[in-house]
Chains A and B, each alone.
Chain A
Amino acid sequence: MNARVMDAAPQPEAAPPSLRNRARAFSTRHRSITVIVGMALATVLMPVIVLLPPFNSFSSQGVWIDGFTIAGIYVLLALGLNIVVGLSGLLDLGYAAFFAIGSYAFAFAASPFTGIDIPFWPMLLVGAVVAAVFGILLGAPTLRLRGDYLAIVTLGFGEIVPIVFLNSSTYTEGPNGIGGISPPSIGDFTFPSVGNPWPFYLTMIGLITITMILVYRLQDSRLGRAWMAIREDELAAAANGVNTVTTKLLAFALGASTAGLAGVFASSKLTLVSPNLFRFDVSFTVLAMVVLGGMGNIWGVAIGAFLVFLIQTVILKQLNIFFGNVNVPILSDVDFLQYQFLLYGVALVAMMLIRPEGLFPSRRRRRELHVEEDQDFAEHGDAMGAAPE
């Protein structure tokens, strides 16, 4: 197979014609189609699955779909943070700040509080741009810092933003937050906030699909390559002609814009924003989702976020109900929801020990962490489409 590598022309690897390999080769070559098909399947299957036992005993289909929509907000956040942490290797501990900025952007643009009513759809873009601008404002002075120092500065930024919204009560209603935010509408049809969960659900699916396609495109582009090089060795990247400052700023800006998008959607869905929705636990939860899902793997991160959210909102609550009913001593008195962060911590430690590459690792990450699988890699090409596929 080496002879083929020499040509340096990316040629399809003559893989054994198993269905799995063929599917993998297809999905690598046609990522956008794969994303659309995958998301379409999820869109249809999830509402059907929740009609089956045991899920139907937890709650009605409508409540489930509403939950999926909220989970989608976290999926978007995780996809955005994955650009910063997973692809570029910049540890951002204050990511919720950009989520807050996007949310407040829409709250200012479409609520009785300001008396303005700009429609939802253009504001999606505006919210993303506003968050990206703040990403650049934060990044420009701080991206010279490396590793731990960057993490500390972003942590500070993540704390400052909600506090600013909290304290400037003249402009933000302070701790009460801004309510009555307009839902999206198409023509005369306004999305209902209760009753029919489908419009928000389908909008969220659309947003995730578009975001995933864009992130895949970015990852496979020159910019994606530059991010990877910076993650590996910043000085060497610079010596190869990568403008490290601009490249890192773009990672920050694009990551932030995804959070801005999620923020606009969230405030429109919840019809309310308040500073306590954007505290450190949000940044931390999203980071945990990225790490658990598999840093750098776009599908992995999306599925990781979805699962973590479901575990946190559904499974823990069900455990409470379950143990409350069966009357087991001690366990029936435990409020599992309160142990959410303890469980995250335990899960993260366990993952780092057992499966540091995440539940759904990118092939590259797995290679980084398991040397013995090199040979397997050499035979199958890599996830970036650079080596022989």
Chain B
Amino acid sequence: MTQTMVPMPPAADAGGPAMLSLAGVHAYYGHIHALQGIDLEVRAGEIVTLLGTNGAGKTTTLKTISGLLHPRSGNVLLEGHDVSHVASHKLVQRGVAHAPEGRRIFSRLTVLENLQMGGYTRTSAEVREDTVHVFDLFPRLKERASQRGGTLSGGEQQMLAIGRALMTRPRVLLLDEPSLGLSPILVQQIFRIIQEINSRGMTILLVEQNALQALAIARRGYVLQTGRVVLSGTSAELSRNEMVRRAYLGED
């Protein structure tokens, strides 16, 4: 397989200052070398997507950013400050929200309680205010506010996971496979909402298997393979790239 390295677009046409950047990040699960030197950058106000097959290191990259895993070498910078070894609960306070893979909502708590749990680090007045915002964004959650999280449909659970992450009032939102296990129509709905959140100024790093949808809303993207970035560029460039077309967009 030929791998073309698309040069990074100049910073000038790609939004604001760097919100998040990873430089030479190596991370391990025990002896397994999961991330083998990841370099990437997310600028303020962007949607950036991470593409790649299973086991490429997409989820691991998000975990390393949100402090659930710490890099063995290399740095994670949040607005220029090194946060490589900051604990995840502290990163939440510093504006990194992670909607983890598989949604992981509190299935025995109600929708409202799930959202309140998202506001754990914040004052109750802020939580009340933001609950209203989240319900504006997801009217479905409003209808089901007093229902148990576990009784929601997959799409609603995904909305709840995103809503709960937003309750931390983040500066950057990490979304891990929001389309996982959803019907095509729901996938479109979720992606519209992600775009909507972004249009209100949120910086988003989106991990997806659904490359077509992800590239449609992202400004830029990175392609990961066995723990390395093998390709990066604007969404338009990646959509045109032959390797991406073959491997992720299902073309011959």
Given contacts A236-B105, A239-B68, contact A6 B145 (CB under 8 A): yes
Given contacts A222-B120, A367-B148, contact A235 B89 (CB under 8 A): no
Given contacts A228-B109, A387-B110, contact A239 B117 (CB under 8 A): no
Q: Does A15 lie at the interface of the complex (its beta carbon under 8 Å from any beta carbon of B)?
A: no
Given contacts A8-B128, A239-B68, A239-B100, contact A388 B146 (CB under 8 A): yes
- In the complex the two chains form, is B104's CB within 8 Å of A236's CB? yes
Bound CA span A243–B89, Å: 5
CB distance from B178 to the nearest CB of A (A): 15
Describe A's contact surface by its main secondary structure: helix
CB neighbours (8 Å) of B108 from chain A are 232, 364, 367-368
- In the complex the two chains form, is B68's CB within 8 Å of A5's CB? no
Which B residues between 28 and 77 are near A, CB-CB below 8 angstroms?
Answer: 66, 68
CB neighbours (8 Å) of B98 from chain A are 239
- In the complex the two chains form, is A386's CB within 8 Å of B116's CB? yes
Q: What is the chain A residue whose CB lies nearest that of B164?
A: A240
Report, as a range, how many residues of chain B touch the other chain.
Answer: 35 or more
Given contacts A367-B108, A368-B108, A387-B112, contact A374 B148 (CB under 8 A): yes
Which A residues between 18 and 70 are near B, CB-CB below 8 angstroms?
Answer: none
Q: Does A371 lie at the interface of the complex (its beta carbon under 8 Å from any beta carbon of B)?
A: yes
Contact with B along A237-270 (1 / 0, CB 8 A): 1111111100000000000000000000000000
CB neighbours (8 Å) of A386 from chain B are 109-110, 112-113, 116
Given contacts A232-B107, A236-B106, A239-B100, contact A9 B147 (CB under 8 A): no
Q: How many chain-A residues does the 8 Å CB contact rule pick out?
A: 36
CB distance from A15 to the nearest CB of B (A): 14
Bound CA span A6–B112, Å: 9
- In the complex the two chains form, is B146's CB within 8 Å of A387's CB? yes
CB neighbours (8 Å) of A229 from chain B are 106, 117, 120
Which B residues between 129 and 171 are near A, CB-CB below 8 angstroms?
Answer: 131-132, 135, 142-143, 145-148, 151, 164-165, 168
Instruction: Name the residue among B66, B132, B146, B168 with the largest chain A CB count within 10 angstroms.
Output: B146
- In the complex the two chains form, is A241's CB within 8 Å of B112's CB? no
CB neighbours (8 Å) of B110 from chain A are 382, 386-387
CB neighbours (8 Å) of B109 from chain A are 228, 232, 386
Given contacts A8-B112, A8-B131, A232-B109, contact A241 B93 (CB under 8 A): yes
Q: Does A327 lie at the interface of the complex (its beta carbon under 8 Å from any beta carbon of B)?
A: no
Q: Does B92 lie at the interface of the complex (its beta carbon under 8 Å from any beta carbon of A)?
A: yes
Q: Does B87 lie at the interface of the complex (its beta carbon under 8 Å from any beta carbon of A)?
A: yes
Contact with B along A361-380 (1 / 0, CB 8 A): 00010011001001001100
Q: Does A188 lie at the interface of the complex (its beta carbon under 8 Å from any beta carbon of B)?
A: no
- In the complex the two chains form, is A238's CB within 8 Å of B106's CB? no
CB neighbours (8 Å) of A226 from chain B are 120
Q: Does A355 lie at the interface of the complex (its beta carbon under 8 Å from any beta carbon of B)?
A: no
- In the complex the two chains form, is B113's CB within 8 Å of A387's CB? yes
Q: Does B121 lie at the interface of the complex (its beta carbon under 8 Å from any beta carbon of A)?
A: yes
* Given A5-B112, A229-B106, 5 more pairs with CB closer than 8 A: A8-B132, A225-B120, A232-B108, A239-B92, A240-B117
8 nearest A-B pairs in the assembled complex, by CB-CB distance: A241-B92, A241-B121, A8-B131, A5-B145, A236-B104, A232-B106, A243-B89, A378-B146
Q: List 5 A-B contacts (CB under 8 A).
A: A2-B143, A6-B145, A9-B128, A240-B164, A386-B113
